[in-house]
Amino acid sequence: MTTVLKDHMVFIKDYALELRRELTDRREAGTLSEWVDEQLSLTVWTNTQGWKAEILLTYGGATVSIDLDSRWESTSQLNHSWGAGDDGEPVGSIDFYCTELHRVVAEVVEEGCDQW
């Protein structure tokens, strides 16, 4: 059986794998901080217990973001407004793993920035 997606939808797992490859390439090239800076925004909220952050990758058509939380070292949430699961049904978010991305955001927090 072939899964058929609506024209505007993407397989969220495939999107996550491609994004992970891009982040790995950037990490290996030492340009992961630059990648974060190239995105639409990085918003960080802090309190005495840690921080939460959102990196906004696209907005408008498909809104795509990554939510990070200092309580978890490498797990974050990838949100995609036009995401679909393997069965073609809408899936808005999945777990996303990137320890180096957490490190980059933690450095921003340590520098005292609450919005990049």
Please tell me whether residue 17 adopts helix, strand or coil conformation: helix
- Asked if residue 2 belongs to a domain, the reply is no
Q: Give yes or no for a contact between 36 and 22, defined as CB atoms under 8 angstroms apart.
A: no
- Asked if residue 23 belongs to a domain, the reply is yes
Q: Each residue of 68-113: pLDDT tens digit?
A: 999 988 889 999 999 999 999 999 999 999 999 999 999 988 887 5
Angstrom distance (rounded) from CA 9 to CA 84: 6
| pTM, full prediction | 0.89
Domain that holds residue 81: 10-110
Report which residue type is found at 76: S
Q: How many domains does the chain have?
A: 1
Is pLDDT at 114 greater than 50 in this prediction?
no
65 burial (CB, 10 Å; 0-12 / 13-18 / 19+) is: buried
- Asked if residue 63 belongs to a domain, the reply is yes
- Asked if residue 4 belongs to a domain, the reply is no
How many CB atoms lie under 10 A from the CB of residue 36? 21
Q: What is the mean pLDDT of the chain?
A: 90
Q: Give yes or no for a contact between 16 and 96, defined as CB atoms under 8 angstroms apart.
A: yes
- Asked if residue 61 belongs to a domain, the reply is yes
Q: Each residue of 33-79: pLDDT tens digit?
A: 999 999 999 999 988 889 999 999 999 889 999 999 999 888 899 99
Angstrom distance (rounded) from CA 77 to CA 87: 20
Q: Each residue of 2-11: pLDDT tens digit?
A: 676 777 899 9
